[in-house]
Amino acid sequence: MDLASKSITVTSIIQDYGFPVVAVFFLAYFIWYLWKYITTEITPKLSSTSATLIKLIDRVRMLDNDLIRLETKVRTFKNSKKK
């Protein structure tokens, strides 16, 4: 039997090598595919997202400082009205 006439299907591979061996190769391929996807697709997006998060944190800090200054001014104004 020559190699060209034999059709390779999943069932023939399982019959030749056994289910555990075939399952290990499929799981290894899945892990490799997942690793490639994470490193090529998700990691660059995370870096841009972290930059956006840093900008938002800075804005929240500025707003917090503005609120503290406003509260101080209101307290000062109230104290000056009482006198």
Residue ranges per structural domain of the chain: 10-82
Outline where 1-83 has alpha helix (H). Answer: 10-17, 19-37, 43-82
Work out the end-to-end distance of the chain between its first and last CA atoms, rounded to an integer number of angstroms. 108
pLDDT digits (tens, 9 = 90+) for 28-79: 999 999 999 999 998 888 888 888 999 999 999 999 999 999 999 999 988 8
The predicted pLDDT at position 6 comes to: 64
Q: Between the CA of residue 5 and those of 1, 8, 17, 18, 79, what are the distances in Å?
A: 7, 10, 19, 22, 97
